[in-house]
A and B are shown apart, each in its own frame.
Chain A
Amino acid sequence: MIPSERRPKRILETLLPFFTLFVLSFTVLSLAIYLVDTRFPNLVNWHPLVWIALIAAFTAGSYPSIDQFYGWLLRRVLFPERSQVPHFLKHLSEEIRATTDLSELANLLVNSLGEVCQFKTVSLSAREPRGERYVVISAHGWNVSDYRKVRLEATSPLVELMKAAQPKSLLREKVIQSLSWQESNQITVHFEALRATCVVPLWVKSKLVGSINLLASSSEQALNEEDLLMLEEFGREVAPSVWKALLIDEIQKINRELQDSRSRILQNAKLTAIEQLATGIAHEIHNPLTIISGKAQVLLLQKDRKIYDEKVEEVLKTVVKQTRRAADITKKLLMFSRASASPREKLKLETVLEDTFSLIAYQMSLEGVEIERLVAQDLPDFFGNTQELREVFLNLILNAVQATGPGGRVQIEITFHKADKVFLLRVRDNGPGISGENLERIFNPFFTTRTDGLGLGLFVTQQIVHRYGGSIRLESEPGEGTLVVIELPLEPEAAPNAVSVIPEKGGKEFHDTASGRR
């Protein structure tokens, strides 16, 4: 199994039979000539070629048995297997048993086997605790992105064969010989998917929990019976540890999912509460606001009115303006509430960005902020709602511009990550940055560091991004500027059903923002 160990033996194995043959042939030839010469003088007349042929035949006939004899002598008598491999495997299995982290365990296993035994590839595939499939967890000698895709269904012929051969390992060559042409073709595909010529199963009691898949680096390294026994023993030793690590990993995964859904439910509860509150406020407060503002307007717009004191007029105008502002809070809140699920269509993110830009370009030029746009070529279409996405861009740009102030720099970048099928939006500013304490609260509704802000921009942005199954995060250090990163999946899952905390009625009354302003 370990090539470097074999070298001295291999030289002896090759040279000894030849040397022996040489001596043997010489002896036999001399004996023959002697015998012939003394006992059967009339045979001497044979042609010399006949003699040579006889000797060649003798040599050829006796070579295999002599070779075998020396093989036995060298391996069993002179150099009995004192290989380091069993010792190494024992040590490795001990180390593996002490590891509970799945990826650490898997990496240790494949890399140690791969490096010490010099296999071309070694991979560990394991059963999904909640499923029936076998997935490759780690591999030595492959690209990470390649082995992540390898999956074996529980019904695949290779898995069935492993189950049938329990607890023996499978050698590709042997398996293929024992099968029909069609079956062996099928199996070959699976061996090739695992990039293996040998598959060592991992059994825990009667459960096949995975396998170690090996590919020898050359045909000389072919595994013999003894190697296989050793590997099977190793498999038995580590299988329970692999299974334990798999279960721990799964429990951690479930725990994370629980935490996620818990925070999502909390977020939803928060949102519907805000929605309810805003609806209530709109109805109860808009009427008094209407009266205050209406009466002021009546005075301001009165025909043939007497000329007011300048101060009175100023006060009246302020009353009208400020009531409008108060009313805007509830409007803004409601506009993005969950109940107002907006229709989605195929669109181009770069177009939405351009539109948003043209809306605020004039204001930006007044602010004296330099805005750089970096949009990747050939972005795929996105399935979304223009209004919502425009709101996202608008909030991010305005935040960045307000953070930098005049003379600042803002960079907006849209890229698409092909492997993960994710759009990445990055907005970077060179403003004063955000302290860690504020960073924690940045997504809370009504949290703002500005005196003129409502504190709803990032909250609303986050809500929209979540609706698309995306994520948003802020990276900032005081004095270092701020980077906002949004990830939007190309194929958003259907907006997750709101886990409604309030009765259906509350959500239904305010539905759809499609009816526009007239």
Chain B
Amino acid sequence: MTRLLVVDDEPEICEFLKTFFEDRDFQVETAGSGEAALKSAETFCPQVILLDIKMGDVDGLEVLKKVKQANPKVKVIMVTALETTDKIEAAMRLGADNYITKPLSLEYLENDVREKISSLAAKP
């Protein structure tokens, strides 16, 4: 089973994403802050992280930097409210694997997550 970490400071967003992916046989954990995300990344060892950029405490970019440092193989998909921010560029430079804008298209998101997983499996 694929381990997926959902990070967003909006609990409701975490909740429906968890419902959606669990329905598709993912093992899902959620984190409502940057700090919680870093903790989960260590204990839960997710293969894919859905990471909100704008959060109250530790910003999504900060989380990205740290999780990629700890484990470069983890796939990170950034979630943002705006497509045109330079934060997206910064995230891509920091090694984010993709980004998706809100409101989310769950079908698109699912495809993207599966793609990342298969690319993980393809590599030795």
Contacts and interface: CB of A to CB of B under 8 A. Distances in A.
B87, B101, B103 interface centre (most CB from chain A within 10 Å): B103
Contact of A334 (B10, B17, B54, B84): B84
A125 interface: no
Contact of A291 (B10, B85, B106): B10
Nearest to A326: B103
A415 to B, nearest CB: 34
B88 interface: yes
Contacts, number: 90
B12 A297 contact: no
Nearest to B87: A509
A120 B17 CA distance: 88
Interface residues of A, number: 34
A297 B82 contact: no
B123 interface: no
Given A287-B10, A298-B20, A327 B85 contact: no
A289 B102 contact: yes
A509 B16 contact: no
Contacts of B17: 294
If over half of A's interface residues share one DSSP class (helix, strand or loop), that class is named, otherwise mixed; here it is helix
A515 B10 contact: no
B24 A327 contact: no
A301 B88 CA distance: 29
Nearest to B21: A298
Interface string A277-302: 00100110011011111110110011
A335 B104 CA distance: 19
Interface string B9-28: 01011001101100110000
B98 interface: yes
Nearest to B112: A518
A255 B24 CA distance: 69
A295 B10 CA distance: 13
Contact of B84 (A287, A290, A295, A513): A513
B16 A298 contact: yes
Contacts of A511: 84-86
B33 to A, nearest CB: 15
B82 A279 contact: yes
A133 B4 CA distance: 74
A441 interface: no
Nearest to A281: B81
B35 interface: no
B12, B82, B102 interface centre (most CB from chain A within 10 Å): B102
A510 interface: yes
A297 B20 contact: yes
A283 B105 CA distance: 17
Nearest to A337: B84
B81 A286 contact: yes
Interface in B51-108: 54, 81-89, 92, 98-99, 101-107
A513 B16 CA distance: 30
Given A298-B16, A301-B20, A518-B99, A293 B104 contact: yes
A290 B89 CA distance: 22
Given A295-B12, A301-B107, A518-B99, 17 more contacts: A279-B82, A282-B82, A286-B81, A287-B102, A289-B102, A290-B10, A291-B12, A294-B17, A297-B106, A298-B23, A303-B23, A334-B82, A335-B84, A510-B82, A511-B85, A514-B89, A515-B89
26 contacts: A286-B81, A286-B103, A287-B10, A287-B102, A289-B102, A289-B103, A291-B16, A293-B103, A294-B16, A294-B103, A297-B105, A297-B107, A298-B20, A298-B23, A298-B106, A301-B20, A303-B23, A323-B103, A324-B103, A331-B83, A509-B86, A510-B82, A510-B86, A511-B86, A514-B89, A515-B84
